[in-house]
Amino acid sequence: MSDVDAVVIGAGPNGLVAANLLADAGWSVLVLEAQPDPGGAVRSAELTHPGYIHDVFSAFYPLGLASPVMRALDLGSYGLRWRHAPLVLAHPHADGRCAALSTDVDETAKSLESFAAGDGGAWREFYADFERVSDALLVSMTSPIPPVKGGARLALALGPRGLLDFTRQSLLSVRRLAEENFGGEGAALLLAGNAMHSDVGPDTPPSGFLGWMLTCLGQQYGFPVPEGGAGQLTAALVRRLESRGGRVRCSANVTRIEVRDRRAVGVVLHTGESISVGRGVLADVGAPALYRTLVGEEHLPSSLVADLTRFQYDAATFKIDWALSGPIPWRTEPATRAGTVHLCDSMDAITEYAADLAQDKIPAHPFVLTGQMNKADPTRSPAGTETVWAYTHVPLRPRGDAGGTLRGRWDDAETQVFADRIESEIEAHAPGFRSLITGRHLLAPPALEARNANLVGGALGGGTMAFSQQVVFRPVPGLGRAETPVRGLFLASASAHPGGGVHGACGANAARAAIAADRLHRIVGGVRDRVRRGARAES
């Protein structure tokens, strides 16, 4: 008799989505989480002062709102409330103009028109193309490979010629995508800035696809935030799970998956405690850690072990949270209303930043992704004050510093110096910003990993978003599905297709694969029993 039907290792959004779907199917589910709190990279905490709620990792959830997987969970019924800033995104240019993305297409078009005559109309057409396919695209992207239903809907929506154009556009770099469609730099900044949420440079595909997708999602859905902090998204997932009998146990680090006859039969915790499972183990764990540490290479085909040596994590991340005594005094008006502000002075400056990263150099002028949380949600801090964060990418293994003398050791001194560098970028666009800081909390790459083992070296996406590790190549060349070579074990984390972001698809795909495999296992077991009984009766 097993302790539970399924164990989910890791209470990140993918683990919690997987657990919810298994519980919906009537399975008894236990989620084991290494950290003291659930949520993975979706957590909030009072990092600076009491009463100031900061999102420790992720903060904006266009995919959380738009993903068919998350929508189907109806988290609104479990306490989740989405809030929107007056403006989605602002990207100030060095020349004083500012590109703005709004959920009102007229406002976005007006902003882009100010960069080049005709770009407003071009944006309307560009976005209309996205809107035509966005539902089918989201279904395709969040379905297991091959995405038969979503793919068919997409092909139908596009038609043969449209499909060719769409495929070609998806293969572009974001610089080329902007050049082909717009005359001015405003649209390029919006598209490239959004592509820079990933680890793919602006001159490399699929940055065009990534920038297009996120910018147009922002136009359609905004960049919503959960009222009360990112942790409220996690709380809703946990509440839903518990309402169906599922359980989450924190401070429970899984150190081994028990494999017998090539089947996962249980897990072992850091305390030595064993938990047996009857139907499956779903791992919201990075692929290398799952296979090398939890399963062990002796249980894996040598081809997989070899493929893992080529697994590529995405760039590392450096994050700052601030408590401010008032709103940031931006020079440009749109930035004063935007939830998200991207800072990097021009398209060429974005390329220079990406070039530093490509050479494993700590960037001299980091691309700064800033979140002004109170614009959407005033509950984040006392009236009149603000909580703001910023992050940028840094190399996973720095070999130098394009801006000075940092070595990438990320000790306290280096961490403070790099935080000052990020603050200088904001101060240049908002003189007086520094004088508002009443509290500051820094997370250099090692600190990120210490708070969530999946953020290996500070990588936030569970693996690169480069073409070489997408779809059938994620996490390693194969089917790109949640099934693993160990029966009853499923990869449920962002290391699986479709990768990073809070959309729940990796978890949902793993849960569906587990349910389908269990059904098959039972049918085969039933047939085998009948054959055995028949053979006994004959003898």
Ligand X SMILES: Cc1cc2nc3c(=O)[nH]c(=O)nc-3n(C[C@H](O)[C@H](O)[C@H](O)COP(=O)(O)OP(=O)(O)OC[C@H]3O[C@@H](n4cnc5c(N)ncnc54)[C@H](O)[C@@H]3O)c2cc1C
Stretch that binds ligand X, among 40-48, 85-93, 166-174, 526-534 (CB under 6 A): 40-48
Does position 15 interact with ligand X (CB under 6 A)? The reply is yes
Does position 63 interact with ligand X (CB under 6 A)? The reply is yes
Does position 340 interact with ligand X (CB under 6 A)? The reply is no
Of 342-401, which residues contact ligand X (CB under 6 A)?
Answer: 391
Does position 218 interact with ligand X (CB under 6 A)? The reply is no
Shortest Cβ 12–ligand X spacing (Å): 2
DSSP string covering 171-213: TS-HHHHHHHH-SSHHHHHHHHHHHTTSS--TTSTTHHHHHHH
Residue type, 442: L
- Among 28, 30, 53, 61, the residue binding ligand X under the rule CB under 6 A is 61
Q: Which is nearer to ligand X, 84 or 110 (CB)?
A: 84
Does position 452 interact with ligand X (CB under 6 A)? The reply is yes
Shortest Cβ 113–ligand X spacing (Å): 29
- Element of type H or E holding 394: strand 386-394
Does position 101 interact with ligand X (CB under 6 A)? The reply is no
Stretch that binds ligand X, among 10-18, 128-136, 142-150, 326-334 (CB under 6 A): 10-18
- Among 456, 502, 515, 517, the residue binding ligand X under the rule CB under 6 A is 502
The C-alpha angle with vertex 43 and arms to 41 and 367, in degrees rounded to 5, equals: 55
Residue 29's CB: how many other CB atoms inside 10 A? 28
Does position 154 interact with ligand X (CB under 6 A)? The reply is no
Shortest Cβ 197–ligand X spacing (Å): 7
- Among 2, 253, 424, 470, the residue binding ligand X under the rule CB under 6 A is 253
Cα 538 from chain centre: 58
Does position 34 interact with ligand X (CB under 6 A)? The reply is yes
| Dist CA 533 CA 394 (whole Å) | 63
Q: Which is nearer to ligand X, 391 or 490 (CB)?
A: 391
Stretch that binds ligand X, among 6-14, 142-150, 295-303, 466-474 (CB under 6 A): 6-14
Buried-state track 182-215, b at ≥16 Cβ within 10 A, e below 16: bbbbbbbbbbbbbbbbbbbbbbbbbbbbbbbbbb
| Dist CA 109 CA 120 (whole Å) | 4
- Among 5, 8, 14, 456, the residue binding ligand X under the rule CB under 6 A is 14
Of 256-275, which residues contact ligand X (CB under 6 A)?
Answer: none
Stretch that binds ligand X, among 29-37, 165-173, 404-412, 474-482 (CB under 6 A): 29-37
| Dist CA 511 CA 499 (whole Å) | 16
Q: How would you classify the pairing of strands 29-32 and 4-9?
A: parallel
Does position 316 interact with ligand X (CB under 6 A)? The reply is no
DSSP string covering 255-315: EEEEEETTEEEEEEETTS-EEEEEEEEEE-S-HHIIIIIII-GGGS-HHHHHHHTT-----
Measured in Å, how far apart are the chain's first and last C-alpha atoms?
A: 31
Shortest Cβ 382–ligand X spacing (Å): 24
Does position 338 interact with ligand X (CB under 6 A)? The reply is no
Q: Which is nearer to ligand X, 48 or 317 (CB)?
A: 317
- Among 23, 87, 285, 511, the residue binding ligand X under the rule CB under 6 A is 285
Contacts with ligand X: how many residues (CB under 6 A)? 40
Does position 470 interact with ligand X (CB under 6 A)? The reply is no
Does position 35 interact with ligand X (CB under 6 A)? The reply is yes
DSSP string covering 308-338: HTT-----EEEEEEEEESS----SSHHHHHE
| Dist CA 130 CA 298 (whole Å) | 47
Shortest Cβ 192–ligand X spacing (Å): 17
- Among 66, 98, 254, 489, the residue binding ligand X under the rule CB under 6 A is 254
Does position 508 interact with ligand X (CB under 6 A)? The reply is no
Secondary structure of 416-482 in the HEC alphabet? Answer: HHHHHHHHHHHHHHCCCCHHHEEEEEEECHHHHHHHCCCCHHHCCCCCCCCHHHCHHHCCCCCCCCC
Does position 442 interact with ligand X (CB under 6 A)? The reply is no
Distances (CA, A) of 158 to 151, 209, 451: 11, 16, 43
Give the residues lining the site for ligand X (CB under 6 A): 9-15, 32-35, 40-42, 57-61, 63, 253-254, 284-285, 317, 319, 391, 452-455, 460-462, 493-494, 500-502, 506
